[in-house]
Structure 1
Amino acid sequence: MPDWQPGAGLSQLRARAGLLAAIRRFFAERDILEVETPLLCGSGITDPAIEPLIVAAGDSLSAQRYLQTSPEYAMKRLLAAGSGPIYQVARAFRDGEAGARHNPEFSLLEWYRPGFDHHALMAEVAALVCACLGERPWRKLSYRELFRQGLGLDPFEVDAGELERVARGRHDLGNLEGDRDFWLDLLLTHDLEPWLAGQGLCFVYDYPASQAALAQIVDHDGVEVGQRFELYIDGVELANGYHELTDAAEQRARFEADNARRLARGQPARPLDEYLLAALAAGMPACSGVALGVDRLLMLACGEADIRRVLAFSWERS
């Protein structure tokens, strides 16, 4: 007999409803428009670290579709069409992500602020989180400062060999191999995220240019950085934001570079989102945007350590 009962209790279901109401109240007070965009998309994300779920072609679908990993591309098309500031609470889907903090289907809050840089958006993200969880202090650390304070390393100056030496000195990594970004990411997840658990509400910003994703790249203190940020609360990664790239040619080049990396890793290339590229070419306003995990925010609000305790029905129960 299958276990048909929900994973979340009534108190968690009520907490979710209250959280969604608080989110909508926050944006209504700021006159930010709520929008909806399709879950089924004609092109999948090119990022090698993210795999979409695929819906096969059928009677009503002439070709396969991808369940969105984020509403980002469609929302940027709305921005280019003159929407002004917008937000969305959406379902998102990512293959291969399940566990205490991941579910393949999850709730994502995403919003965009024309005229904001990533620092202005960090302040608004902090305001939203405090509106949902209660007032608390928050701080910002650059990626460079994080590595210096947490590990005594300058991530922009140390070479890949030294990063590997430090990582192997701290962990039993067997035959693991990788490039410079691989070792930076390993040290971040295995050493610095636990260190961030003692830092409360903390933003990390200005990542290496090689990790810029969809963010603008600028020269800062003699090094190129991607103007993006991540928010951690008690060591839990909650949000990822960008001072958004608006250059269509540069965005196409990054998509193509992503696909080259995918092919080198044995992953299939993904079709480029030509709608997004056309919107960028037409002119998307300078803006910053952020995606925040609603389920993880609810976990923090409820004091839960497992995402399955705040979902009515997790992947295993649906």
Structure 2
Amino acid sequence: MPQHIGSFKSRISIAAFLRSGHGLVAGRVTWRKTGDASGAAVLQDDSGSLPLPAAVAVQLPSASPSWAAIRLDHDGWHLVYQAPIAVNEATGPLFAKQAMLKRRGRIHQKVRRFFLNADFLECDTPVKVACPGMEPYLDTFAAGDQWLRTSPELHMKRLLAGGLEKVFQFAASFRAGDIGRMHREEFIMLEWYRLWADLDRLQEDVQGLFAELAEEATDPAYFRRPIEVVTCAGLFERYLDLPLRDHHNRDPLRACLEAKGLPWSEEDDWDTLYFQLFLNFIEPRLGFEQPTLVTAYPASQAALAKKMPVVAGEMPACYRFEIYVKGIELANAFYEVTDHGVQRARFAADQEERRALGKAVYPMDEAFLAALASGMPPAAGIALGLDRLVLALLGGDDLATILPF
């Protein structure tokens, strides 16, 4: 309101007021129960709380929340401003989540500080892109003649090809149809990339990040434990007594599904059968005693990762890992494909699969392929769901509890 222009220039925090004993403070008034029927009024801002004297409290809406600005000077208390708060469906959930949102903000700050202290460069990349990512089972939203990105990955790797050695980003990302306790169609992806690095170096990053954030966790000891490393093939033997020798023969997977009472279809390919078993019988058991790193994914699931040398008698695999924390799939890492011919062939195969599935077929990212063709050195990168990380640290089981909207 015009009459209040300039009125709050001298405002100080409640914490500063408690030290000085005078000044102008402002914030939200709530009422606490006391022996008195009317209760006690308390003024709160981000720095602390101040019980209000009765002479001020009687001027405020009785037992109802309100905004207020109060000054204490040589001639006593003065109510400078007050307005009732009509808590409704727009503001009620936000007031209720104040403490949680502040903890979330602190975690974000510590994540950023961790990477800056490790000499990473924080970067930003386009959200509206010509190619949002080629994975057949990831869909996004049209934005004019372009798309909203599913990940900043392709542009961040162009930064590596352009000479930046260590980059990170808090990236708004989009996945159409991802709705649930652990999924949102819009979310924050924390991605970081290193030139001259492989998956071992990324594992060290994750371990260090967890240790840095442990003091913010409801279970700090958990995030200080060493990361358990297991292979995909090892997990199938451990939990299903099923040796994986290739990613073509569907019969062992079908037999295992039948033994577990789950249906399968003749049209299901090897990876579909694999994921039915993994998601139902393995993933729900991962990462409860300590963070778990699952590595050596089937070569058929390499995406943008290099494939490992084939070993006779063992399942062909790729240089990829995922991190699980308390049953939550948290991060996906690649030792990156840097051969532009290999990557182009994979993109073409992804396009064909998207076409067969009746999905939008995204164009080749020619600028990304040109960046690889320029001679990009070995590199590794990881995408971590920042919202899920916050949820895991705070001990929740639904993203709705830690997101403001």
Moved more, 195-204 or 179-188: 195-204
Return the offset for 1:101: 0.1
1:4 maps onto 2:90 in alignment:
yes
Structure 1 157/84 Cα, relative in aligned 2: closer, same or farther at 3 Å? closer
In the TM superposition, 1:136-215 aligns within 5 A as 136-157=225-246, 159-173=249-263, 177-215=267-305
Write out per-residue CA displacement over residues 78-130 of structure 1, whole angstroms, 9 at most, x where no aligned residue: 11110111100111111010100001000110000111111221121122122
Write out per-residue CA displacement over residues 208-254 of structure 1, whole angstroms, 9 at most, x where no aligned residue: 11000000012154343110000001211000000000000110000
Moved more, 176-185 or 80-89: 176-185
Which residue type is aligned with residue 89 of structure 2?
Answer: D
Which residue type is aligned with residue 383 of structure 2?
Answer: A
1:219 maps onto 2:309 in alignment:
yes
Mapped to 1, the partners of 2:394 and 2:101 lie a distance apart of 10
Q: Is the radius of gyration larger for structure 1 or structure 2? A: 2
Return the offset for 1:280: 0.5
Return the offset for 1:199: 4.3
Mapped to 2, the partners of 1:4 and 1:139 lie a distance apart of 43
| The one of 109, 117, 120 aligned to 2:201 | 120
Return the offset for 1:165: 1.9
| The one of 116, 122, 137 aligned to 1:34 | 122
1:250 maps onto 2:329 in alignment:
no
| The one of 117, 130, 135 aligned to 2:211 | 130
Return the offset for 1:294: 0.4
Return the offset for 1:195: 2.1
Residue aligned with 2:187, SS: strand
The 8 Å contact of residues 133 and 154 in structure 2, kept in 1 or not, is answered as no
| The one of 260, 278, 282 aligned to 2:352 | 260
Which residue type is aligned with residue 19 of structure 1?
Answer: I
1:13 maps onto 2:101 in alignment:
yes
The 8 Å contact of residues 13 and 312 in structure 1, kept in 2 or not, is answered as yes
Which residue type is aligned with residue 211 of structure 2?
Answer: C
Higher relative contact order (CA 8 A, sep 6+): 1
Which residue type is aligned with residue 79 of structure 1?
Answer: L
Residue aligned with 1:178, SS: coil
- Normalised by the length of structure 2, the TM-score is 0.72
Residue aligned with 1:167, SS: helix
The 8 Å contact of residues 191 and 381 in structure 2, kept in 1 or not, is answered as yes
Which residue type is aligned with residue 124 of structure 2?
Answer: E
Structure 1 174/115 Cα, relative in aligned 2: closer, same or farther at 3 Å? closer
Mapped to 2, the partners of 1:15 and 1:297 lie a distance apart of 12
Which residue type is aligned with residue 357 of structure 2?
Answer: R
1:281 maps onto 2:369 in alignment:
no
Which residue is 2:135 aligned to? 47
1:106 maps onto 2:187 in alignment:
yes
Which residue is 1:25 aligned to? 113
Mapped to 1, the partners of 2:367 and 2:264 lie a distance apart of 44
Residue aligned with 1:31, SS: coil
Structure 1 122/176 Cα, relative in aligned 2: closer, same or farther at 3 Å? farther
Which residue is 2:67 aligned to? none
Gaps of 5+ in 1: 57-63, 314-318
The 8 Å contact of residues 254 and 264 in structure 2, kept in 1 or not, is answered as no
Which residue type is aligned with residue 136 of structure 1?
Answer: R
